[in-house]
Chain A
Amino acid sequence: MMILNGSHVKIKDISPPGHLRTPKYIRGKNGVIERCLGVFKNPEQLAYSLRAEEYDLYRVRFKMTELWADYSDNPNDTLDAEVFAHWIEEITNAT
């Protein structure tokens, strides 16, 4: 089921040693859904010539201050990354 724009989410913090498109620096971090991009095939399976499942792909927006403990530039600076649904956990009680 699609996660709505503006929803607060957390990226899963796991590190399997294979082909992934979820960079390490966003894992375990909190962000906000910027938009859903549609459904795309899982690169983790395509990379190994496996039949690939399709997942919703989202742009997730993170504050730089959330990503980097020592970020001292403009606190409004952000980073957007594309993340597949199976890496995203909705946070239901976001502050």
Chain B
Amino acid sequence: MPHDHNEHLSPSGHPYREDNDEPLTYWQTMEISIRELLIEKGKFSSSEISEQIDLMDSRSPTDGAAVVAKAWVDPEFKERLLQNGVSAVGEMGFDLGPMHLVVVENTEKVHNLIVCTLCSCYPRNLLGLPPDWYKTREYRSRAVKEPRSVLNEFGVFLPKETSVRVHDSTADMRYIVLPKRPECTSGLTETELASLVTRDSMIGTGIIKELNN
């Protein structure tokens, strides 16, 4: 029996759209049919499906933000993270499953930007599902050819001296950006630091704004 998720909030904090009352579409008919056939044939159970949905729901940019904050306060952890993303993140209790993770660091000299030009590969097992814009033709086409113009559209304006390094996720690696820690944050706790980290800053289409004290 399919588990009803309507009482849960989606990761954005909004209720799921009331799609139970929507007119049934051809593609929804296909989804229901595939799901039921796979369950009937014993390939998996309905509780495995709902557990997988819960697992994906539990992943969000908050997880990535916690990793970033730890890297900011713990230089040795940062080095391990840059060397081997999966094992460092595993130290914090995050299970990335089969996902390979490469963490790339923003500095004064280098700003990183992540894209998948061929489809929509994204570090979903750490950050949750990708935003719609990441999958668009416009982002996929332009990020690798005119990254600064793309960054400007996202409100990121880099100094001329900073070079851009774009990463196209063409194979088995998935990437997150380790954004630069803003100035004047030495008094903040790791949790407070994590709350500054946005999803877009871990894709490279955002930066952490400097705090104005």
Q: Is A52 in contact with chain B by the CB < 8 A criterion? A: no
Q: How large is the interface on A (under 10, 10 to 19, 20 to 34, 35 or more residues)?
A: 20 to 34
Set of chain B residues within 8 Å of A76, measured between Cβ atoms: 163
B170 touches A82 (CB 8 A): yes
B163 touches A82 (CB 8 A): no
B144 touches A79 (CB 8 A): yes
Cα distance, A67 to B163, chains bound together (Å): 16
Residue of A nearest to B117 (CB): A23
Set of chain B residues within 8 Å of A22, measured between Cβ atoms: 170
A77 touches B172 (CB 8 A): no
Number of interface residues of B (CB under 8 A): 23
B170 touches A21 (CB 8 A): yes
Known: A23-B118, A25-B144, A79-B144. A74 touches B164 (CB 8 A): yes
> In the assembled complex, how far is the CB of residue A79 from the closest CB belonging to chain B, in whole angstroms?
5
Q: Is A78 in contact with chain B by the CB < 8 A criterion? A: yes
Of A22, A67, A77, most B-chain CB atoms within 10 Å: A77
Q: Is B124 in contact with chain A by the CB < 8 A criterion? A: no
A81 touches B147 (CB 8 A): no
Q: Which residues of A contact B (CB under 8 A)?
A: 21-23, 25, 37, 40, 43, 57, 59, 64, 67-68, 71, 73-74, 76-84
